[in-house]
């Protein structure tokens, strides 16, 4: 009886579009694709209650790591298009590349992200669920995802269209609810989907509302709007994708009857939400709306700030919409600048690290007083490996309650003199590394050889090929100090020609390598995604991060690595600049002059690669003094640094981050 009541309540709150009863087997009793259904009913009721206004988080992309965290299950077998594809490997062990590929029998990540920004948004909503906040995420259902990266022999990356099946993706459900955005040339209709993001205890959820224009009666071109994330080859598409997120998101919240107190714009992409809310309001009330909007800026890089001409905007938006944009977002050049617009319509603005705040103060001096900073974090439960979770559980006196409060990890330092902990930390790491070697067994990786990884979005300022800059120097380190295993991975945006050349350069360098494979292995992995990110960040010895300062606003992949005791080799930029007094590995490289931003196209490759190799040589030396052909010296300074990394992870996580958002930005604390 109770159970029937629950399911009835679920279906009265959530209008599942399911004429064939397709979902009835997965949503029944108290089960939603294998998770507790009552958490959903509770959250949906609270979001509609007039007492407690909720938070709406808008983001163009979400990286939810569905393949490795809180995987929802279905009674139906996984459709082949929703399984991870077979990925090629490009290495200097060409025979293996030729005969083998990486096959992983797992579900694809929900393909609605491109890189770090999306992963941060995903980690944020997961933490909101852990904190049981009345919140909803708003995003877009990208019908063809971002893209699938194919290596095209050694000539670089060939982007391929990605195919997946939203209708059978476990946990994702279409709703009957439709909304309409009235635009000048045509109305755009959107269907709503929902995906539920569960807390790590599975007792609370944050609904993620996904907008989809691929429906009747939309025109063919309107149906394309939610096809591929970050289309930038066409102004109309680029602009309309942002209009869909902003206007569609506000429409969806109204349609669902959510009581929203705060609109959080994760990047300026979402700022049309303000324009949508302003429709039909008198001028002074528009002014009032600002108190409900907050804005997080994520990049100092020029290309990250969207600009549109008023000519283009007025072809799509109504006169009253462009008037609002004129009023709050017109820059001196006469264009509409979405960053400016976002800052002018928000009651709180934040950068994503202390360094990034300084850069924003230089870039936007007029807003100096308003721009605060909240350094990004990562979601512990997603990024911690099983091995390290077990390790921390074995030392409850130090790590008491670390699952509910990951800030406790800061206490890892207290265990530096505990021989048992030192040994077990090394063993946990070796066990993770053995997993990676197993995955790449055809490439003969050795768990007792120094392994370093660079993996993230391929963008010029991140300098993907820095470690390959002087291949002779690299070879000499391998000869003199000890063998090296280098892993590289990342996608370049399909319209980023410069990014493309980096991948080309990487593959070409590896192709020309004549060195003995046992001395120097370089392995480039295709189609980098969250699934690979989780494996790599937790299992290599050193995580390499070498952006050109000050263009990395925060960066997060290193935070995933330190959670698993993986050492850092990094330039001093983004979050790392807040932890340079911590002995986590090696910091090196160019520093921009105080008070200036510098030139993002002057990459300082020669000087910085020299510094990189010097740091690498030191770390490799220490590594082989620590790991002597499988025999570990656990009194080594290497282990001190591993423990220091774990301790720093107590600070750079999304729990600390959301505490600061509550205090400084949402002011709900
Ligand atoms: C964490 C993550 C990133 C972000 O990496 P940065 O080093 O912060 O640029 C990018 N892509 C994936 C798949 C990730 O998991």
pLDDT digits (tens, 9 = 90+) for 440-498: 999 999 999 999 999 999 999 999 999 999 999 999 999 999 999 999 999 999 988 88
CA-nearest residue, atom 12 of ligand 1: 115
Which residues are bridge partners to 87 per DSSP? 102
Query: Helix crossing, 2-13 with 38-48: angle to 10°?
Result: 50
Question: How many angstroms separate the alpha carbon of residue 30 from the centre of ligand 1?
Answer: 35
The alpha carbon of 484 and the centre of ligand 1 are apart by a number of angstroms equal to 23
In a mutational test of the pocket of ligand 1, which residue from 62, 119, 148, 488 has the highest number of ligand atoms less than 8 Å from its CB?
A: 119
Q: Which of 556, 570, 575, 577 to mutate to test the pocket of ligand 1 (most atoms within 8 A of CB)?
A: 556
pLDDT at 1 over 70: no
State the CB neighbour count (10 A cutoff) for residue 19.
Answer: 7
- The Cα 525–Cα 548 span in angstroms is 23
In this structure, the residue with its CA closest to atom 7 of ligand 1 is 557
Whether the pLDDT of residue 209 is over 70: the answer is yes
What pLDDT is stored for residue 594 in this prediction? 87
Does the pLDDT value for residue 550 go beyond 70?
Answer: yes
Q: Which residue has its alpha carbon closest to ligand 1 atom 1?
A: 557
State both tokens at 663. 């205090």
Q: Which one of 124, 532, 557, 654 would you pick to mutate in the ligand 1 pocket, going by the greatest count of ligand atoms within 8 A of its CB?
A: 557
User: Residue 557 Cα, ligand 1 centroid: separation in angstroms?
Assistant: 5
**Strand, helix or coil for residue 24:** coil
Could you tell me the pLDDT band of residue 2, with boundaries at 50, 70 and 90? Answer: low
**Cα 382 to middle of ligand 1, angstroms:** 13
Q: Is 110 helix (H, G, I), strand (E, B) or coil?
A: coil
* Residue to probe by mutation, ligand 1, list 63, 380, 383, most atoms within 8 Å of CB: 63
Ligand 1 centroid from CA 646, angstroms? 19
Q: Which atom of ligand 1 is nearest to the CA of 558?
A: 7
Q: Taking a C-beta distance cutoff of 8 angstroms, is the pair 229, 65 a contact?
A: no
Nearest CA to ligand 1 atom 3: 116
CA of 485 to the centre of ligand 1 (A): 21
- Answer whether 361's CB lies under 8 Å from 405's CB: no
Report the percentage of the chain scoring pLDDT > 90: 93
Torsion of CA 71, 73, 79, 84, to 10 degrees: 20
Tens of pLDDT, residue by residue over 113-127, are 999 999 999 999 999
Q: Which residue has the tokens 């200036």?
A: 596
Shortest-distance atom of ligand 1 to CA 556: 8
| Most distant CA pair in the chain, distance | 74
Q: What is the number of alpha carbons within 13 Å of residue 593 lying toward its C-beta?
A: 4
At residue 232, the pLDDT reads 86
Percent share of the chain, pLDDT over 70: 100
Mean pLDDT along residues 610-616: 98
Residue 529 Cα to ligand 1 middle (Å): 8
pLDDT for 426 beyond 70: yes
Which residues is 349 bridged to in the sheet?
Answer: 295, 371
Give the C-alpha separation, 519 to 479, whole Å: 7
Residues with CB under 6 A from ligand 1: 115-116, 119, 456-457, 528-530, 533, 545, 555-557, 560
Q: What is the Å distance from ligand 1's center to 166 Cα? A: 24
CA–centroid distance, 45 to ligand 1, in Å, is 35
In this prediction, residue 180 carries a pLDDT of: 98
Ligand 1 atom closest to residue 113's alpha carbon, by position in its atom list? 13
Residue whose CA is closest, atom 11 of ligand 1? 115
8 Å CB contact between 530 and 63: yes
Q: Give tens-digit pLDDT for 95-113.
A: 999 999 998 889 999 999 9
In whole angstroms, what is the distance from residue 647 CA to residue 645 CA?
Answer: 5
Nearest one of 92, 114, 101 to 506, comparing CA atoms: 92
Residue 573 Cα to ligand 1 middle (Å): 15
- Give the whole-angstrom CA distance, residue 479 versus residue 618: 14
> Which of 110, 112, 115, 453 should be mutated for ligand 1, with most atoms under 8 A from CB?
115
562 alpha carbon – ligand 1 mean position (Å) = 14
User: How far, in Å, is the centroid of ligand 1 from the Cα of 329?
Assistant: 30
Ligand 1 centroid–CA 256 distance in Å is 33
Average pLDDT over residues 154-158: 86
Provide the pLDDT for residue 3.
63
What domains does the chain contain, in order, with CATH numbers? 3-346 (3.40.50.2000), 386-653 (3.40.50.2000)
CA 574 to ligand 1: nearest atom: 8
In this prediction, residue 304 carries a pLDDT of 84
Q: Whose CA is nearest to atom 8 of ligand 1?
A: 555
SS3 426: helix
User: Is residue 318 scored above 70 in pLDDT?
Assistant: yes
- Point out the ligand 1 atom lying closest to the alpha carbon of residue 533: 15
What's the average model confidence in pLDDT over 219-231?
A: 96
Cα 333 to the center of its chain, rounded Å: 33
**Which residue shows structure tokens 């000890």?**
482
Asked if pLDDT for residue 643 goes beyond 80, the answer is yes
**Interval between CA 65 and ligand 1 midpoint (Å):** 12
Atom of ligand 1 nearest to the CA of 462: 9
Q: Candidates 352, 527, 533: which one to mutate for ligand 1, based on the most atoms within 8 Å of Cβ?
A: 533
- Measured from the Cβ of residue 494, the count of other Cβ atoms closer than 10 Å reads 20
Q: What is the pLDDT of residue 433?
A: 98
Region 187-212: mean pLDDT is 98
* Ligand 1 atom closest to 378 (CA): 1
Which residue has tokens 């900073």? 373
CA of 427 from ligand 1 middle (Å) equals 26
């Amino acid at each position: 009886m109770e159970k029937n009541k629950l399911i009835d309540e679920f279906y009265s709150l959530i209008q599942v579009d399911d004429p064939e009863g397709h979902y009835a087997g997965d949503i029944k009793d108290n089960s939603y694709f294998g998770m507790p259904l009552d958490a959903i009913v509770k959250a949906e009721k609270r979001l509609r209650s007039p007492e407690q206004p909720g938070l709406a988080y808008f983001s163009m992309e979400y990286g939810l790591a569905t393949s490795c965290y809180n995987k929802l299950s279905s009674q139906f077998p996984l459709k082949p298009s929703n399984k991870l594809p077979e990925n090629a490997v490009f290495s200097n062990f060409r025979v293996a590349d030729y005969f083998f590929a990486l096959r992983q029998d797992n579900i694809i990540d929900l393909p609605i992200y491109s890189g770090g920004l999306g992963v941060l948004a995903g980690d944020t909503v997961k933490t909101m669920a852990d904190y049981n906040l009345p919140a909803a995420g708003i995003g877009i259902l990208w019908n063809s995802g971002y893209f699938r990266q194919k290596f095209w022999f050694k000539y670089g990356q060939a982007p391929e269209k990605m195919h997946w099946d939203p209708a059978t993706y476990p946990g994702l459900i279409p709703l009957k609810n439709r909304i309409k955005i009235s635009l000048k040339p045509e109305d755009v209709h959107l269907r709503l989907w929902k995906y539920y993001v569960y807390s790590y205890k599975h007792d609370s959820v944050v609904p993620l509302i996904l907008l989809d224009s691929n429906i009747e009666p939309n025109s063919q071109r309107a149906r394309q709007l939610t096809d591929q994330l970050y289309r930038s080859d066409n102004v109309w598409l680029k602009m309309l994708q942002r209009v869909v997120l902003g206007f569609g998101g506000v429409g969806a919240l109204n349609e669902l009857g959510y009581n929203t107190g705060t609109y959080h714009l994760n990047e300026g992409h979402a700022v049309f939400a303000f324009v949508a809310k302003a429709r039909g309001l008198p001028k002074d009330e528009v002014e009032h709306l600002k108190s409900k909007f907050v804005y997080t800026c994520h990049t100092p890089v020029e290309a990250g700030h969207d600009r549109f001409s008023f000519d283009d905007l007025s072809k799509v938006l109504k006169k009253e919409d462009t008037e609002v944009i004129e009023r709050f977002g017109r820059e001196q050049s006469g264009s509409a600048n979405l960053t400016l617009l976002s800052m002018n319509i928000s009651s709180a603005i934040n950068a994503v690290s202390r360094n990034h705040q300084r850069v924003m103060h230089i870039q936007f001096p007029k807003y100096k007083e308003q721009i605060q900073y909240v350094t990004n974090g990562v979601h512990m439960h997603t990024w911690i490996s099983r091995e390290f979770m077990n390790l921390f559980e074995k030392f409850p006196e130090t790590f008491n309650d670390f699952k509910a409060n990951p800030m406790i990890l800061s206490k890892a330092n207290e265990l530096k003199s505990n021989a048992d902990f030192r040994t077990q930390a090394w063993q946990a790491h070796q066990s993770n590394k053995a997993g990676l070697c197993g995955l790449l067994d055809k490439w003969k990786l050795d768990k007792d050889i120094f392994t370093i990884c660079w993996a993230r979005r391929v963008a010029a300022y991140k300098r993907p090929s820095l470690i390959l800059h002087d291949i002779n120097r690299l070879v000499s380190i391998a000869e003199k100090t000890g063998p090296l295993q280098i892993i590289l991975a990342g996608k370049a945006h399909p319209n980023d020609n410069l990014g493309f050349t980096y991948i080309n350069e990487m593959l070409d360098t590896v192709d020309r390598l004549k060195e003995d494979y046992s001395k120097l292995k370089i392995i480039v992995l295709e189609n980098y995604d969250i699934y690979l990110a989780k494996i790599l960040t937790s299992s290599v010895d050193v995580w390499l991060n070498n952006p050109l300062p000050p263009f990395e606003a925060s960066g997060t992949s290193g935070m995933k690595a330190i959670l698993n005791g993986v050492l850092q080799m990094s330039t001093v930029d983004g979050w790392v600049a807040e932890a340079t007094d911590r002995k986590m590995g090696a910091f090196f490289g160019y520093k921009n002059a105080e008070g200036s931003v510098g030139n993002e196209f002057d990459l300082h490759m020669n000087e910085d690669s020299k510094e990189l190799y010097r740091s690498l040589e030191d770390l490799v030396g220490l590594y082989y003094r620590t790991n002597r052909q499988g025999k570990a010296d656990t009194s080594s300074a290497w282990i001190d640094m591993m423990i220091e990394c774990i301790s720093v992870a107590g600070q750079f996580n999304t729990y600390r981050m959301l505490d600061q958002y509550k205090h400084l930005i949402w002011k709900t604390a």
